[in-house]
């Protein structure tokens, strides 16, 4: 359980750092797609950073994706080495994804997006948008993910069980 929590928290930290570092360098349309609709509309004409910054941002996002996959693979292989069965792997993956999702909801969505003003600084033309006050703007997507996670974890655990041996 400690390894699962530790790996999950490391993945959260990497994701947070990548978002904070890469967002100012990424293409605005990429960053804006994660924000409320009125904010997307207000910032649709925001100037793009130079191509080299955009490439750097994409590399950072790719490194995050690789670290996420690496974390899941590590947890799966470690679980198999520890003699975990299907349901133990499933629970391990589920705990990992829920920790990451809770971090995403409370730290990234509620604090970074809504409270800190980080994206208002990146997109000053959105300062007066009502979307910054609507804390439930992403609830539907979050609920869908929370419902799908057990099934995704079953598939992931099943894949790892195929390689058991």
State pLDDT tens for residues 88-109. Answer: 999 999 999 999 999 998 898 8
* Full residue range of the structural domain in which residue 149 is found: 2-162
The encoded tokens of residue 113 equal: 């997006």
pLDDT category of residue 66 using cuts at 50, 70 and 90:
very high
Q: Which residues contact 29 (CB under 8 A, 6 or more apart)?
A: 44
User: Is the pLDDT confidence value at 69 over 90?
Assistant: yes
Query: What pLDDT does 73 receive?
Result: 95
Number of domains in the chain: 1
Environment class of 55 (CB within 10 Å of its CB; exposed 0-12, middle 13-18, buried 19+): exposed
Q: Which residues contact 138 (CB under 8 A, 6 or more apart)?
A: 109
Distance of CA 143 to the CA centre of its chain: 14
d(CA 94, CA 152): 9
Query: What pLDDT does 165 receive?
Result: 62
Residue scoring higher pLDDT (157 or 41): 157
């Amino acid at each position: 359980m400690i390894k699962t929590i530790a790996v999950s928290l490391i993945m959260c930290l990497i994701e947070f750092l990548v978002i904070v570092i890469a967002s100012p360098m990424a293409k605005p349309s990429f960053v804006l797609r994660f924000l409320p609709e009125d904010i997307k509309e207000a910032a649709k004409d925001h100037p793009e950073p130079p191509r080299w910054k955009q490439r750097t941002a994409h590399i950072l996002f790719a490194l995050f994706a690789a670290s996420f996959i690496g974390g899941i693979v590590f947890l799966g292989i470690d679980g198999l080495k520890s003699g975990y069965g299907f349901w133990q792997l499933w629970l391990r993956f589920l705990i990992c994804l829920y920790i990451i999702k809770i971090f995403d909801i409370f730290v990234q969505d509620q604090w970074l997006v809504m409270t800190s003003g980080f994206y208002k600084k990146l997109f000053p033309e959105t300062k007066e948008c009502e979307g910054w006050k609507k804390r439930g703007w992403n609830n539907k997507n979050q609920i869908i993910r929370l419902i799908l996670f057990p099934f995704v974890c079953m598939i992931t655990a099943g894949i790892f069980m195929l390689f058991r041996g």
